[in-house]
Amino acid sequence: MMYLNRYYHSLKKHFWCSKRYIKAFIIALLFVTSVFILKYHTNEKKESIINFNHSYQHSEEDQKKSDDKDLLSFNDILGKPANPSLNVKKPDHDKVIEMIAAANLRENTKLRMKKCFEYFDSLPDDLLSSISSLNYAFGIENTEFHLKLASIVRKYEFCKDLDYNTYTIDESNKDMPKKINDNSKDEMYRYKIIWNYILNNYIDENFESKIFFFLKKDFLNKSAIEKYTLNDDGKFDYTRNVVKKAFNRLTPLENLQYMIKGDNYLYETIFKNKDESTLELSYMGEYLSYDVKVSELFNNDHLLINDFRDNFQLMQESQMLSEYISSLNKRSQFEENGIILTMGSRHINILPKYLSALKKHFVEGSRPTNSNYHVQIVFNDIDEEFNRHLQTKNSKEEILNNILKPKLMDFKDYFEISVLEVGDILNCSSDNIESFKFFMNKWIALNFNEFNRFIFTDIDVALFTHPDELFTPKYGISKLYEVEDNIMELFSKYKTPSKEKTHPLVLFPDRFLKERTFTQCTNLFKDMLATTKERYDFNDFKTLSIPTLQQLSSINSNVASVFNNIFDQDVRKLHNIDSSLIIVNNYNDISTNLMFSAMLNFIGLDRCVYGDKEFLALGMIYLGRFDFDVLGVNTGLVTSKKKIDNVACATQSAQIVNGKLISINGGLRKCKIDPVSYAVGKDLEDEAKANWLAAYYQLSNTNNLEETLNEDYIKPIDIEVLVEPNAQFEFELKKDYNDIETENNYWMNSAFCMEYGYCLNLEKEGIDDKYNVIVLDDETIKHYEGILEAWNSA
């Protein structure tokens, strides 16, 4: 019995130990099971973010392609390739896929539309919000987000239209030109109608305002553009244009452009010859007037597309637009051009100077007075702009009537003047535009003015050529190109065959300053360019192909030079295009590109280039647009006859084209610093500067220098000689004005006017003329002096 009890206690002890082992085992098993379940659900959740989650059956063609590569690669977007799940059905996904399959489009086009839909349908909800919530400081540390957003915008631009151009890829995955006009207009318009229907109905309707997150998400139907037009009685007429969704076949962003531009959205300028131009339907005009036959949009019947077939609004819109467009008197309604400008409150005193100089072109000379010429001043928020630094705030009525109107009254008989405020449709909170504040109003003026063809200038620019002449190829400003040129066609959008057209955007160069941007900036810019892999993943990402410099040089050597100056690691030029003058033709053709340039600013790259004009060029380049023009690679200058022997000096840059003075940037006084007494004081503080200035004014010492500077700085600039650099020659700025050994291929930064002066050695080397020196005749000088007087006396 004793042994039995001992055995019982031993067994009980071992059993207790076993229970502990069993408990431990069970706990471990539960833990492993929990981890496995958690991991399974986590993976499922992760996959649900990037997968398409549809249950349609893959075709043999799809299955074959999926064996070769992922259906869609998200390595460059979301970090891993797509892996479609067949277990979870996403609402409406199959409906859209079958709608695409039934579309009356080529198989390659349907495949593209399918991939476009699957891409945008699969973007996680928090992706764009995470991008738009970045801290918009210097943005290089946010490269990953910049690349994601750039890629999304590029794909959006690619998907929204079926382009005629540019490159496709061959079997070895190398770029090769595709056939010109491979896509018919009918197919292009059918594609766009169906795609916009899908975008508006099966992808978040606020998707565009998420991409361009400076737009309010609810800007349609709620926000308005406010316009104040100065009438003959000297009062502001107020109109409020609510941005409504006007047409079912347009996306919200396209509707926004249409509502802002109105009829100007429908027409563009076509040049019949070098001197004659007509207004004809633009790409958007042709698309909106496209005679929609719903029965032709699909090849076969299917229950899932009945709601599309029943969309009689498409047919009603088509009939209405066709009647509207055919009834327009294009000659009387669409020949006007506009001048747009914007300014900060600190520049209000320059406004009458600007308008006084502009008025001279309409009251003198052989040209008839055009009392209907439009000048539009565009603001984001008038209240904020004029009350920013004031303790006692002015009302909007007080700003318009007490601040703006007194500066405009003397010019109402010469121009139709209006003030536009568009901030109501923009998300302009300080959180998301802090780094963009400096260029905010300029970008808004470019995008939201009401003209189709316009001149955009800074407020301190004086025009020396009649504005009408800037739109004609006669003076070499709006250059013509033939769209039959295959190379040009490869890098252009929406071109009508057999017609001469102008470059949609014409930019002017700045001084070739010896300043460099950061290497990380140029590396980031290169990374943001579309890659062959990205085009391959989207089959034929044609519009995003980047030409070689040799190809680009054959299209436009100046654009090629600017392109090289930005991206070449040995150049990395900071100043490329900042002349404060832009000429825009056929504006509806480039609106999205301007949106993209704005996006580049918003994501914190504003310290990578010098000015807002750089972003215009980059915006075109990133979207595969190389049909814009840059007039030369260096700015010109004006000077006096006294300084022509060896060195020409000036305080403002001048835009000179083919021997013609177009404009001068920086005002028309010798020293643009206000007051000039401040500049004089600063220049006399430094002994080296004072000695240089004494030599410049041919003084034996610096005793009378202060009086001389005060007298000269306030005088009008000298315009007796034009110095126009050769379009291909780059004069790089050498900053040290004390360096008497300055080579003749350098600008020299002078000590004049707080170093806002530049000098150039005018010696020529043999037959290699690096610049054209034009001595003006007395009649021309007298005409220019009239503009100088108008500016400086206002």
Reported as a single tens digit per residue, the pLDDT across 329-386 is 655 555 567 899 988 888 899 999 999 999 998 886 544 444 568 899 999 889 888 9
pTM: 0.81
Residues 78-93, mean pLDDT to the nearest whole number: 45
The mean pLDDT value of the chain amounts to 75
Confidence (pLDDT) at 42 = 36
pLDDT tens digit string along 566-611?
Answer: 877 788 888 788 778 898 876 666 777 788 887 777 776 777 877 7
pLDDT band at 137 (very low <50, low <70, confident <90, very high): very low
Distances (CA, A) of 695 to 381, 576, 652, 688, 753: 48, 32, 21, 11, 15
Pick the more confident residue, 489 or 629.
629
Cα dihedral sign, 287-291-294-300: negative
Residue 328 or 427, more confident = 427
- Pinpoint the alpha helices (H) of 724-777: none
For residue 652, report the phi and psi dihedrals to the nearest 5 degrees: -130, 150
Q: Which residues 6+ apart lie within 8 Å of 351 measured at CB? A: 343, 407, 408, 459
- What is the structure's pLDDT at 366? 47
Q: pLDDT for 751-782, tens place per residue?
A: 888 888 777 776 654 445 677 888 999 999 99
pLDDT of residue 235: 94
Count helices and strands (H / E) in the chain: 30, 25
Instruction: Collect all residues with Cβ–Cβ distance below 8 Å to 557 and sequence separation of at least 6.
Output: 728
Cα–Cα distance for residue pair 1/24, rounded to 1 Å? 34
pLDDT of residue 478: 66
What does the alpha-carbon distance between residue 670 and residue 663 come to, in Å, rounded to a whole number?
15
Q: What is the pLDDT of residue 100?
A: 92
* Per-residue pLDDT, 730: 65
Percentage of the chain with pLDDT > 70? 69
Domains observed in the chain? 224-630 (3.90.550), 637-782 (no CATH)
- What is the spatial distance between Cα 115 and Cα 212, in angstroms, rounded to a whole number? 22
- Helix, strand, coil % over all residues of the chain, rounded to 5: 45, 15, 40
What Å distances lie between residue 608 and 435, 570, 649, CA to CA? 12, 16, 29
d(CA 291, CA 450): 27
Q: Are residues 739 and 748 in contact, defined by beta-carbon separation less than 8 angstroms?
A: yes
| pLDDT tops 80 at residue 619 | yes
Distance (Å, rounded) from C-alpha 213 to C-alpha 603?
11
pLDDT tens column, 44-56: 322 222 222 222 2
Q: Does pLDDT of 135 surpass 80?
A: no
pLDDT at 49: 24
pLDDT tens-place string over residues 286-327: 888 888 888 788 887 766 677 777 777 788 888 888 777 777
Given a cut of 60, is residue 182 above it in pLDDT?
no
Alpha-carbon span 189 to 193, nearest angstrom: 6
Q: Residue 733 pLDDT more than 70?
A: no
pLDDT band at 283 (very low <50, low <70, confident <90, very high): confident
Please tell me the predicted confidence (pLDDT) of residue 679. 93
Q: Which residues 6+ apart lie within 8 Å of 659 measured at CB?
A: 722, 724, 772, 774
Write out pLDDT tens, residues 695-708.
Answer: 888 888 888 899 99
Q: What is the pLDDT of residues 399-438, one digit of tens each?
A: 999 999 999 999 998 899 999 999 888 887 655 556 566 6
Is 166's pLDDT higher than 80? no
Q: Can you tell me the mean pLDDT for 234-258?
A: 86
pLDDT of residue 22 exceeding 90, the answer is no
Structure confidence by residue, pLDDT tens digits, 682-698: 999 988 888 888 888 88
Instruction: Report, as an integer, the average pLDDT of 730-737.
Output: 58
67 and 262 Cβ atoms separated by less than 8 Å = no
Res. 627: pLDDT tops 70: yes
Mean pLDDT for the stretch of residues 450-478 = 84
